[in-house]
């Protein structure tokens, strides 16, 4: 698991505290590049740094280019040690990665992330820090660590016809950090209905950026996919790129999928997945709801149950199209 330090919610040290679902304790997240983040978002230099770092693709593309070079392999050992990454889970042996990005997008051995088999169970799509909202207030602003966004902004103009169907629905934010396995999976059986691309910024998804009320989720580069889940109904699956993410790559080629099938992966950098569900279609697990109501993220693995289907799927019929 990612390297962390046991801490309490009242811990006065600076850092990000999350709840480890498996151990049941609060842990402190180790942030890769935290000094750069503090400089970019918390210093007087912020106005000078914001546009070159986050307003164009240049910096993320340069980082992505370097992460794809053989020279970047020298960073793997120190990153693995700093973040406590277990390379025994990986298909590729520790010395077998062609580049840092090859390591970052690593595949895991079969069975490392089992998905619950029951059709009515919704699973986490990724290793992440999870926050849930059981019932949204129409299209009201959704607060996440100091930032706010609206469903209409998340879906953008291509999804304007769908926004109302998600009003009063349920939503979860899955925040990935550099320590995580960065391939993501379908949370249940179903099929894809529509997909489109939005955004032109590359802000960090770290809570430090969100606390500055940066509109990360509605301005960053993102991919929106509308899913028709067999036991649940329609859901929006939104991959949000972030600082350093050179690409969001979709690997699944069929319109139908099974729970646990790989949907895609993020190249080097931080990233987030947001899932939105129609009202009354799912019930998030009680522990996730309780912790989220306190503003606490929960550390979960891909495949872990996070919700159950509440009722037969509903039936709005968006026109099929592929962007």
Is the pLDDT at 138 greater than 70? The verdict is no
Q: Which residues, including other chains, have CB under 8 Å from residue 66's CB and lie 6 or more apart?
A: 72, 100
Name the nearest CA neighbour of 282 among 236, 238, 313, 315.
313
In a domain, 96, yes or no: no
Q: What is the DSSP string of 254-280?
A: SSEE-TT-EEEEE-SS-EEEEEEE-TT
In a domain, 16, yes or no: no
Is the pLDDT at 243 greater than 70? The verdict is no
Looking at residue 63, its pLDDT comes to: 74
Beta sheet of 262-266, edge-to-edge order: 183-185, 262-266, 248-250
Name the nearest CA neighbour of 197 among 233, 240, 160.
240
Is the pLDDT at 221 greater than 80? The verdict is yes
Q: Which residues, including other chains, have CB under 8 Å from residue 319's CB and lie 6 or more apart?
A: 194
| Cα 215 from chain centre | 16
In a domain, 178, yes or no: yes
Residues 30, 33, 36, 41, CA torsion sign: negative
Looking at residue 155, its pLDDT comes to: 93
Residue span of the structural domain in which 251 resides: 121-316
Report residue 282 as tokens. Answer: 């799912």
Instruction: Give the burial string for 196-205 (b: 16+ CB within 10 Å, else e).
Output: bebbebbbbb
Is the pLDDT at 146 greater than 90? The verdict is no
In a domain, 217, yes or no: yes
Task: Give the chain's domain count.
Answer: 1
What positions carry a catalytic annotation?
A: 127, 185, 271
Q: Mind listing the pLDDT tens digit for each residue in 261-305?
A: 999 999 886 688 999 999 999 999 999 999 999 989 999 999 999
Name the nearest CA neighbour of 187 among 91, 66, 281.
281
Measured CA angle at 88 (ends 86, 93), to 5 deg: 115
- Alpha carbons 312 and 53: distance in angstroms, whole number: 46
Note the residue count of the chain: 323
Residue with tokens 């990360």: 216
Q: Mind listing the pLDDT tens digit for each residue in 166-204?
A: 989 999 999 898 889 999 999 999 999 999 999 766 566
Give the H or E element holding residue 142: strand 142-144
Report residue 134 as tokens. Answer: 């059981």
CATH code, domain with 295: 2.70.70
Averaged pLDDT, 133-151: 71
Q: In this predicted model, which residue has the larger pLDDT, 320 or 235?
A: 235
Q: β-strand 298-300 against 16-20: which pairing, if any?
A: parallel
In a domain, 61, yes or no: no
Q: Mind listing the pLDDT tens digit for each residue in 55-89?
A: 455 566 677 788 889 999 999 999 999 889 999 99
């Amino acid at each position: 698991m990612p390297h962390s330090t046991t801490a309490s919610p009242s811990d006065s040290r600076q850092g990000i505290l999350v709840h480890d679902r498996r151990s049941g304790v609060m842990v402190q997240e180790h942030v890769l590049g935290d000094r750069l983040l503090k400089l970019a978002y918390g210093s007087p230099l912020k106005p000078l740094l914001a546009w070159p770092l986050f307003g164009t693709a240049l910096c993320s593309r340069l980082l992505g280019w370097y992460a794809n070079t053989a020279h970047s392999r020298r960073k793997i050992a120190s990153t693995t040690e700093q973040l406590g990454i277990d390379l025994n889970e990986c298909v590729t042996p520790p010395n077998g990665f062609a580049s840092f990005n090859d390591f970052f997008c690593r595949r895991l051995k079969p069975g490392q992330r089992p998905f619950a088999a029951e059709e009515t169970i919704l699973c986490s799509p990724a290793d992440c820090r999870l926050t849930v909202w059981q019932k949204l207030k129409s299209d009201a602003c959704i607060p996440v660590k100091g930032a706010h966004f609206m469903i209409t902004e998340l879906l953008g103009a291509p999804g304007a016809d769908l926004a109302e169907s998600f009003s009063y629905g349920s939503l979860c934010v899955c925040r990935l950090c550099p320590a995580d396995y960065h391939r993501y999976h379908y949370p249940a059986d179903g099929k894809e209905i529509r997909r489109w691309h939005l955004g032109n910024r590359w802000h960090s998804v770290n809570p430090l950026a969100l606390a500055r009320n940066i509109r990360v989720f509605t301005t960053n580069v993102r991919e929106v996919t509308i899913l028709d889940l067999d036991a649940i109904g329609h859901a929006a699956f939104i991959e949000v790129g972030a600082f350093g993410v050179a690409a969001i790559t979709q690997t699944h080629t069929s319109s139908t999928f099974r729970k646990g099938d790989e949907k895609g992966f993020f190249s080097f950098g931080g990233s987030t997945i947001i899932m939105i569900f129609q009202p009354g279609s799912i019930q998030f697990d009680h522990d996730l709801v309780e912790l989220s109501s306190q503003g606490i993220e929960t550390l979960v693995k891909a495949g872990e149950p996070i919700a159950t289907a509440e009722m037969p799927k509903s039936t709005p019929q968006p026109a099929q199209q592929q962007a």
